[in-house]
Amino acid sequence: MLPEPDSLMASRRLIDDFLDALWLERGARPNTRASYRSDLLQFARSLAVREATLADATEADVQQWIATGARQTVARTQARRVSALRQFYQWRLREAPSALDPTVSLKAPRLGRRLPRSLEEHEIERLLDAPDTDTPMGLRDRAMFELMYASGLRVTELIELSLPRLDLQRGLVQVLGKGGKERLVPMGEWASEWVTRYLRQARPLWVAKASVDVVFCSQRGQAMTRQNAWLRIKQHAVTAGIGSTLSPHMLRHAFATHLLNHGADLRSLQSLLGHADLSTTQIYTHVAQARLQQLHARHHPRA
């Protein structure tokens, strides 16, 4: 295996420093940092062909790399790449004020506001009933699904949830969200009961093998991964007859949509979801409106 050129090694050091700053200053999550690292390394490799580093990049280099990627990737990936480059060079300017920013004229692709796919309430009931709660794993899965649906947790928030952040007596969960922001969310009686059962009957069978403080763990007594949580939901969705395209985020969408359908206001929903900006929450009004139109068309005598 050939050694990396010096230019690429220099770019790697810059990327490492940038990602450290991104974590320290903004609390960027591992998934975000991993995506940015991949994007920046791809750009660095394109520069290394002419023995240039990220610090040497010109506007032409940036525009050419983005244009080449536009023919190979979807708009959302392109938008992330643009974000990675912009944030990197903004950080670079703070570290070296005399440096030039080659992204000043870079424009991100327009992204349409995608309506999140949700689930009907009867589909949620089928999914919640799908795990075999006579088994430890089924009991864990039921508790996970109940908590996600009751509290609107992101899958990352779920798998990283620690025992000290649960208040089962009051039915509250302290969630550590994006950017290290905390929020207190009710979990309701149903989720509290299922989580309590799981903690008493299933979790002790696994944590004896390892010392972890996460609420939901694997049979090996280790913290679950996002992929593992996704696989469990996908398998139970098939059992429930919902289909194999269900994602963990759809439980969060269902939480938001069903709250709106039953009279919740946007400000309260924003707080429960942990959205920094109300405009992010407003997308759910479109989902709820579409649902109301379907109900009207189905049940109104003059629809």
Weakest mean pLDDT among 20-24, 91-95, 215-219, 243-247: 243-247
Q: Tell whether 261 is covered by a domain.
A: yes
- Same domain (yes/no): 207, 251: yes
User: What is the token pair recorded at 105?
Assistant: 């004229």
Distance CA 142, CA 32 (A): 29
Q: Tell whether 103 is covered by a domain.
A: no
Weakest mean pLDDT among 119-123, 244-248, 258-262: 244-248
Give all strands of the β-sheet with 166-167 in edge-to-edge order.
166-167, 172-176, 182-186
Nearest to 124 by CA among 236, 227, 10: 236
Q: Tell whether 214 is covered by a domain.
A: yes
User: What is the token pair recorded at 39?
Assistant: 């994007």
- Same domain (yes/no): 133, 77: no
- Same domain (yes/no): 88, 171: no
Check whether 244 has a pLDDT greater than 60.
no
Distance CA 239, CA 155 (A): 21
Q: Tell whether 34 is covered by a domain.
A: yes
How high is the mean pLDDT of the chain? 84
pTM above 0.75, yes or no: no
pLDDT of amino acid 98:
81
Q: Which of 36, 89, 149, 284 is catalytic?
A: 284
- Is 275 annotated in the active site? yes
Distance CA 237, CA 126 (A): 8
Q: Tell whether 74 is covered by a domain.
A: yes
Count the Cβ atoms, other than its own, within 10 Å of residue 137. Answer: 16
Looking at 80, 95, 110, the residue that finishes a domain is 95
| Number of structural domains in the chain | 2
Check whether 252 has a pLDDT greater than 90.
no
- Same domain (yes/no): 160, 253: yes
pLDDT of amino acid 140:
96
- Same domain (yes/no): 146, 91: no
Assess contact for 215 and 162: CB atoms under 8 A: yes
pLDDT of amino acid 203:
93
Return the DSSP state at 217: B
Q: Which of 29, 33, 117, 249 is catalytic?
A: 249
Assess contact for 158 and 214: CB atoms under 8 A: no
The highest-confidence range among 213-217, 246-250, 254-258, by mean pLDDT, is: 213-217
- Same domain (yes/no): 138, 286: yes
Helix (H, G, I), strand (E, B) or coil at 118: coil
- Same domain (yes/no): 47, 142: no
Distance CA 283, CA 288 (A): 9
- Same domain (yes/no): 67, 134: no
CATH number for position 26: 1.10.150.130
Q: Tell whether 104 is covered by a domain.
A: no
Check whether 137 has a pLDDT greater than 90.
yes
Q: Which of 178, 197, 234, 291 is catalytic?
A: 178
pLDDT of amino acid 230:
86
pLDDT of amino acid 256:
83
- Tell me the β-bridge partners of 186: 172
Check whether 57 has a pLDDT greater than 70.
yes
- Find all residues with CB under 8 Å of 257, minimum gap 6, and list them: 118, 284, 287, 288, 291
pLDDT of amino acid 29:
79
The mean pLDDT value for 213-226 works out to 89
Helix (H, G, I), strand (E, B) or coil at 274: coil
- Same domain (yes/no): 202, 272: yes
Q: Which of 92, 203, 252, 253 is catalytic?
A: 252
Q: Which of 81, 92, 142, 154 is catalytic?
A: 154
Q: Is 285 or 106 the better-scoring residue by pLDDT?
A: 106
Q: Is 110 or 147 the better-scoring residue by pLDDT?
A: 147
Nearest to 247 by CA among 117, 77, 111: 117
- Same domain (yes/no): 180, 264: yes
Name the residue range of residue 89's domain.
6-95
Weakest mean pLDDT among 26-35, 56-65, 257-266, 278-287: 278-287
Q: Tell whether 291 is covered by a domain.
A: yes
Check whether 192 has a pLDDT greater than 90.
yes
- The per-residue pLDDT for range 145-188, each reduced to its tens digit, is 999 999 888 888 999 999 999 999 899 999 888 777 888 889 98
Check whether 34 has a pLDDT greater than 70.
yes
Q: Tell whether 197 is covered by a domain.
A: yes
Assess contact for 208 and 221: CB atoms under 8 A: yes
- Is 113 annotated in the active site? no
pLDDT of amino acid 70:
66
pLDDT of amino acid 290:
58
Check whether 9 has a pLDDT greater than 60.
yes
Helix (H, G, I), strand (E, B) or coil at 245: coil
- Is 253 annotated in the active site? no
Check whether 111 has a pLDDT greater than 60.
no
Check whether 114 has a pLDDT greater than 90.
no
User: What is the token pair recorded at 61?
Assistant: 């280099």
- Same domain (yes/no): 59, 132: no
CATH number for position 173: 1.10.443.10
- Same domain (yes/no): 201, 266: yes
- Is 249 annotated in the active site? yes
- Is 154 annotated in the active site? yes
pLDDT of amino acid 32:
87
Say if residue 45 is exposed, middle or buried (CB neighbours under 10 Å; 0-12, 13-18, 19+): middle
Distance CA 248, CA 155 (A): 6
- Is 232 annotated in the active site? no
User: In percent, how much of the chain has pLDDT > 70?
Assistant: 84
The highest-confidence range among 96-100, 152-156, 240-244, by mean pLDDT, is: 152-156
Helix (H, G, I), strand (E, B) or coil at 216: coil
